[in-house]
Amino acid sequence: MRVLVTGANGFVGSRLASQLDRSGGFSLACAVRTIGTCRFGEEYSVGELGPVTDWSLALRGQDVVVHLAARAHVMVDETPDPLVEYQRVNVDGTLNLARQAIDAGVRRFVFVSSIKVNGEQTDLGQPFTSDQMTAPADAYGVSKLEAERGLLALGKESGMEVVIIRPPLVYGPGVKGNFATLTRLVEKGIPLPLGAIHNKRTFIALDNLVDLIQICISHPAAANEIFLTGDSRDLSTSELLREIGKAAGKPARLIPVPQGLLMFGASLLGKTAVARRLFGSLQVDISKARNLLGWEPPISVEEGLRRCFESESRF
């Protein structure tokens, strides 16, 4: 089976390319901006993802496209209208690729979206499901939802199978952003006032996500479905920090400060959005992938966190 992976030199793409290369049964092609940045498969330089990107050489003879390339979260966004830029890359760029894939005879298009399509927060014990109303709260989530809808419409018109995967926060070797920040704080032994947070959040280890993507490449039951994914166990922020400490061999130093007091302090400092991510719940129901695909996350939370500390390219 011939598989094209876009964003093949990224955080998820490089791991997926490595896995497909090792597993056999796949002829791997990697779409990247610059030749020489992917260690596996045949490379194709396609430049910047957008509405006029030419994918013709990379798509020639491919059976499946796994689309990972995207404009992701930009912490300090200096564009005049972030939504327009997200739409240009994540919507117009994705649909441009899909139309060219249809013309090239690609049979299946696997799109890695985001749980942000569902929303930013759940009530405790009431996880997001794939069939509920979507409620993206930021430009990134809106762009991913619009791309999903466009892909499903193109698939229905053309007969190309579309598979959509919505992961929550992905962690693993080389992870960046807030997860890396928390990990550094724990490693340095800095006391954190987060010992009394009783929320629940779903995360997904990089290798668990890659395993599900690989299944979705070929499983017959995955066609034209939307899958929410995550690890087999949800964690509170306090539990996550303790597990990070165990994995790092440096126990987390947590102080049990009441959550209400922390929220008040965050509001005074203008950090309410950050506090909501730390204190709020975001749970995901992964039963659809289990029931339709027979998928189970192959590694535990503990193992996934341990692997974060094995990589030479630490964050």
Asked whether 205 and 174 are in contact (CB, 8 A), the reply is no
Dump the DSSP string for 234-284.
Answer: -B-HHHHHHHHHHHHTS---B----HHHHHHHHHHTT-HHHHHHHHSBB-B
36: left (phi over 0), alpha (psi -120 to 50) or beta: left
Burial tier of 111 (Cβ tally within 10 Å: 0-12, 13-18, 19+): buried
The CA distance from 222 to 164, in Å, is 9
Rounded to 5°, angle at Cα 118 from 117 and 122: 145
Q: Which residues are catalytic?
A: 140
The CA distance from 171 to 209, in Å, is 10
